[in-house]
Structure 1
Amino acid sequence: MDKVIEMKEITKVFPGTTANDNVDFTLLKSETHVLLGENGAGKTTLMNVLYGLYQPEKGQIFVRGKEVKITNPNDAIKLGIGMVHQHFMLVHNFTVAENIVLGMEPKKGVKLDINKAIKDVEELAKKYGFNIDPNAVIEDIGVGQQQKVEILKALYRGAEILILDEPTAVLTPQEIEELGIIIENLKAEGKSVILITHKLKEVMSMSDRVTIIRRGKVTGIVNTKDTSIDELAELMVGRKVNLIVEKKESKLRGEVLKIENLHANDNRDLPAINGINLSINGGEILGIAGVDGNGQTEFLEVLTGLRKPQNGKISLNGKDIFGKTPREIVDSGVGHIPEDRHKRGLILKYSLFENSILGMQHKAPFSKNTVIDYKKVREFAQKIIKEFDVRTPNDEVHASALSGGNQQKLIVAREISKNPDLLIAAQPTRGVDVGAIEFIHKRLVAERDAGKAVLLVSFELDEVLALSDRIAVMYDGKIVGILDRKDADEQKLGILMAGGSLDEKEVSKVE
């Protein structure tokens, strides 16, 4: 088969770390090739070199057999290389069509020919089987649709080689299936796809070959049909990984959180939470399953003080926290691993030691009379960075310099270190590699075994099933059923997630 990309001995160095150390990578025509590795292994860095965002210290790049110098993304685009980044780069108040043609707009005189733009986008979407409205405004569509816009944007610019960085990190199971179909359609057109991902099931279902990178070096190149999830996990982290969550029988320790008839509106002031009744005990993990957009985000925002509820009751250890501020809720004993780590979990321009005490900066031992004791802060930061294996040169680097998984581990470390009575974990392993997933899962189970109440909200059904003692399903802003874990499976949860119903004997509680 033809080599469309060949990267030889690529080396990229940042202060304090060698991100790529003599890396070789080859992409063939009409194949899907996965770059697999731990967070911070150097996968995205390698692709940023290919896309012209970084310049390597040494190495060669060949496109279709010809050596090239890619000094910026425009060079890459001219060579037929497109990249969809993990965090989308769209103008939120522009339409789908306006975003796709941005920078290459069809003109009528000196003005944008919006009718032609819409027609071009419709034809392109139809060609690749994308169901998307070119007139929709980006801020009004879900992340799955936004990802399609990014892919269409690359294809509009003539991409024959498409790099997808963590493409399933923010997608529902249904959207992941759609993405798999899209990738097959692209390959059928003769295009080649590079996937950066941590999700081993998707590696097995979507790829033809896999290159594994660990700490900047290639540790293996395998044909997908000749490998297994266990082998890939071991190549990825350098040791055997236990992919099964081990936990003892739960020992309940009394009610921690009680929610009664909770109602709240969304950003458009329309009902988003429609009468939720729920309780969580110490010593258990209660999982919330559901398709994205059924009120989970608004529900968590109410529980953490980020959204004002309309009415209802919320009590923590018998104390009323309904409508309290985020600080009051944190101080009452709630830890929060947010679903959007950049928006809610970190201040990216702050150092790791500053981020390590967010939510605790006003309390002893970190502060006295509004003066922060930076010695105590640094000691604390270094302790949790070591305990939670946050990969960083030091605690002074900005949070923005960490890989997504290491950012997530820092947030998990901080929230667990608050010793909360209730730990709210929203998408706790989104965009995180298999080694870090194993670690985070163990820490959540340890919190549960220590008698804490854990509320887990995840779009990963495997994760909900693996961790939960009970599973509540949200649909249209309501809890439509609660199942004991021993009675739950993907089929039953899928029926409830789609708005269907089960036999009353199969559901321990229906609202």
Structure 2
Amino acid sequence: MLNITKEFPGIVANDNITLRLRKGEIHALLGENGAGKSTLMSVLFGLYQPEKGEIRKNGKVVKINNPNDANDLGIGMVHQHFRLVEVFTVLENIILGVEPTKNGFLDMDEAREKVVDLSERYGLKVDPDAVIEDISVGMQQRVEILKMLYRDNEILIFDEPTAVLTPQEIAELLQIMRDLAKEGKSILFISHKLNEIMEVADRCTVLRKGKCMGTVEIKDTTKEELSRMMVGREVSLKVDKKESQPGEVVLSIRNMTVPSKIHRNNAVKDVSFDVRRGEIVCIAGIDGNGQTELVQALTGLEKMTSGSINLCGKDISKASIRERSVVGISHIPEDRQKYGLVLDYTLEENLVLQRYWQPQFQNKGFIKFDEVRKYALRLIDKFDIRSGQGPITVVRSMSGGNQQKAIIAREMDKDHELLVAVQPTRGLDVGAIEYIHRMLVEGRDSGKAVLLVSLELDEVLNVSDRILVMYEGEIVGELDPKETTDEELGLYMSGAKRDNVKEIYNAG
């Protein structure tokens, strides 16, 4: 990609960027949220046309007008926000657009055989007949990768591929990437995670505010050097916090049971725990072990079959989503686009979604747009939300990391007793992660209760004051982050170790 320039209203997303990818290499693309990484890859995949510059493949200039052209050239892309049809099965999504036919009819048997073979060969276990809307985000990620492998692409673009995966799945994915590179495939790997880049990439190109800061050989650099190139300053990769001072119980969950959408078993089985003021309690576990359903039942998105939820001594088990919000729950959801934002609303409209009916923002049923604008500008400044047109930017056009910042700004600024943060740093760069971790700790220190759900082992061990491990819908361990290790946590997460946590809670 030579001298690529791509502009949007109010912003130059890519400013004269040159990127060279060698055959059989893993080339990382690193940059802050909104630095232009996804835009550059969308140009390569034919989703955008550049204002200037050219793309060459094997030395020849190529014109990529759309993703079909990219696929014909052997270029495939796993998008940060998955491009899947929610009501189709895994198999139907994988073959969509390249359906095998026999005598004019769909030949699903041949397709199924190829998909099963690919999933076994690359360790991407999926159920071909599962419907997309019923499977976890981690599973959807695998479907996206299989879609690319099914098309026999030779240039593979992974846009934030590990943002939704568990540590075990990440290790597997990095191995898959190494195997693909060994087979001669060339990989462009967009990531914020410096550990992964150091572990798997051969070279790394760093972008900052739409400009290329240079390309470095991984063996000749360090994490600190990369983060300095990316952010332009020193970044602390360690969470700085003092000892927690837990107060009275804010959230009390007793004997919660939530049915599963996917199978007959319950997703959450008779779970009980408390979260107190001034502490960060983290629910850790491999994706798909009931964390999603637990949070959805807690926030009102799913119904429980039994159990109770108390917030500050008040039973909210049957309260509506708005009632729970008003009574003091803030929620950073797992899927920012599905549950966190109205994508075709502006940034300022999204920032007041939870509060537009309050006297500050409305008078006799009419919204005070000046107040909304003033409030939005304050949050944009405080949380460093970057977008082309400020408060009037349509949220769909913002980068994933800045969409996440918008949700975090809205939920953390709202007056709340309990912050439920699910994967709050998903898809954020090191500078933003440092900031969000500091905000969580500040929330805790100001007497709020924080329930963190995370798949990131580093985050679990660094940010939390207490760890509850979920496995197959049950809490199987309660751990002190200061006294546990990655290995012990991993054993609990895989179900190899269990505490008698339920007995402790029932006795208490």
TM band (smaller chain)? over 0.9
Give yes or no for contact 1:34–1:203 (8 Å, CA) kept in 2. yes
C-alpha distance in 1 between matches for 2:2 and 2:398: 26
C-alpha distance in 1 between matches for 2:441 and 2:26: 36
- Deviation of the 1:488 alpha carbon: 2.2
- Report the secondary structure of 1:485's partner residue: coil
- Indicate the residue corresponding to 2:390 in structure 1: 394
- Report the secondary structure of 2:477's partner residue: strand
Match of 1:179 among 165, 173, 184: 173
- Indicate the residue corresponding to 1:444 in structure 2: 440
- Deviation of the 1:285 alpha carbon: 0.6
- How many residues align? The count is 504
- Indicate the residue corresponding to 2:363 in structure 1: 368
- Indicate the residue corresponding to 1:71 in structure 2: 65
- Deviation of the 1:342 alpha carbon: 0.9
- Indicate the residue corresponding to 1:271 in structure 2: 266
Which structure 2 segments of 5+ residues have no match?
none
- Report the secondary structure of 1:488's partner residue: coil
C-alpha distance in 2 between matches for 1:251 and 1:294: 30
Asked whether 1:345 is paired with 2:340, we answer yes
- Indicate the residue corresponding to 1:3 in structure 2: none
Q: Aligned ranges for residues 308-319 of structure 1 at < 5 Å?
A: 308-319=303-314
Question: TM-score if structure 2 supplies the norm length?
Answer: 0.95
- Report the secondary structure of 1:235's partner residue: helix
C-alpha distance in 2 between matches for 1:160 and 1:87: 22
Give yes or no for contact 1:484–1:508 (8 Å, CA) kept in 2. no
- Indicate the residue corresponding to 2:453 in structure 1: 457
Give yes or no for contact 2:4–2:17 (8 Å, CA) kept in 1. yes
- Deviation of the 1:94 alpha carbon: 3.3
- Deviation of the 1:461 alpha carbon: 1.3
- Deviation of the 1:128 alpha carbon: 4.3
Asked whether 1:295 is paired with 2:316, we answer no
Give yes or no for contact 2:476–2:499 (8 Å, CA) kept in 1. no
Q: Aligned ranges for residues 355-434 of structure 1 at < 5 Å?
A: 355-392=350-387, 393-434=389-430
Asked whether 1:475 is paired with 2:461, we answer no
Pair 1:373–1:503, CA change in 2 (3 A): closer
- Indicate the residue corresponding to 2:195 in structure 1: 201
Pair 1:13–1:480, CA change in 2 (3 A): same
- Report the secondary structure of 1:221's partner residue: strand
Give yes or no for contact 1:482–1:507 (8 Å, CA) kept in 2. no
C-alpha distance in 2 between matches for 1:434 and 1:286: 22
C-alpha distance in 2 between matches for 1:456 and 1:164: 27
Pair 1:126–1:248, CA change in 2 (3 A): closer
- Indicate the residue corresponding to 1:4 in structure 2: none
- Deviation of the 1:101 alpha carbon: 2.6
Match of 1:102 among 96, 103, 120: 96
- Report the secondary structure of 1:33's partner residue: strand
- Report the secondary structure of 2:34's partner residue: coil
Which structure 1 segments of 5+ residues have no match?
1-6
C-alpha distance in 2 between matches for 1:96 and 1:398: 31
C-alpha distance in 1 between matches for 2:320 and 2:270: 21
1:237-269: per-residue Cα shift (whole Å, max 9, x none)?
111001100011112232211122222223367
C-alpha distance in 1 between matches for 2:82 and 2:129: 19
C-alpha distance in 2 between matches for 1:192 and 1:473: 38
What is the Cα-based RMSD across aligned positions, in Å? 2.0
- Deviation of the 1:185 alpha carbon: 1.6
Give yes or no for contact 2:4–2:16 (8 Å, CA) kept in 1. yes
C-alpha distance in 2 between matches for 1:120 and 1:500: 33
Asked whether 1:190 is paired with 2:148, we answer no
Give yes or no for contact 1:334–1:422 (8 Å, CA) kept in 2. yes
Asked whether 1:500 is paired with 2:496, we answer yes
- Deviation of the 1:133 alpha carbon: 4.5
Give yes or no for contact 1:404–1:431 (8 Å, CA) kept in 2. yes
Asked whether 1:254 is paired with 2:252, we answer no
- Indicate the residue corresponding to 1:56 in structure 2: 50
Pair 1:310–1:148, CA change in 2 (3 A): closer
Asked whether 1:336 is paired with 2:327, we answer no
C-alpha distance in 2 between matches for 1:95 and 1:252: 46
C-alpha distance in 1 between matches for 2:63 and 2:399: 26
Q: For residue 462 of structure 2, what is the amino acid of its counterpart?
A: A
Give yes or no for contact 2:159–2:190 (8 Å, CA) kept in 1. yes
Pair 1:167–1:267, CA change in 2 (3 A): same
- Indicate the residue corresponding to 1:169 in structure 2: 163
Give yes or no for contact 1:479–1:510 (8 Å, CA) kept in 2. no
Match of 2:211 among 217, 220, 226: 217
C-alpha distance in 2 between matches for 1:134 and 1:413: 38
Give yes or no for contact 2:123–2:172 (8 Å, CA) kept in 1. no
- Report the secondary structure of 1:225's partner residue: helix
Q: Bigger CA drift: 85-94 or 321-330?
A: 85-94
Q: For residue 457 of structure 1, what is the amino acid of its counterpart?
A: V
Pair 1:260–1:209, CA change in 2 (3 A): same
Pair 1:354–1:131, CA change in 2 (3 A): closer
C-alpha distance in 2 between matches for 1:96 and 1:473: 29
- Deviation of the 1:319 alpha carbon: 1.6
C-alpha distance in 1 between matches for 2:328 and 2:135: 35
Pair 1:231–1:499, CA change in 2 (3 A): same
1:22-65: per-residue Cα shift (whole Å, max 9, x none)?
10100001000010001100001111111111111111211011
Give yes or no for contact 1:256–1:453 (8 Å, CA) kept in 2. yes
Match of 2:484 among 470, 485, 488: 488
- Indicate the residue corresponding to 1:231 in structure 2: 225
C-alpha distance in 2 between matches for 1:81 and 1:119: 23
- Report the secondary structure of 2:27's partner residue: strand
- Indicate the residue corresponding to 2:12 in structure 1: 18
Q: Bigger CA drift: 133-142 or 44-53?
A: 133-142
1:366-390: per-residue Cα shift (whole Å, max 9, x none)?
1233221111111111111111111
Question: TM-score if structure 1 supplies the norm length?
Answer: 0.94
C-alpha distance in 1 between matches for 2:410 and 2:85: 32
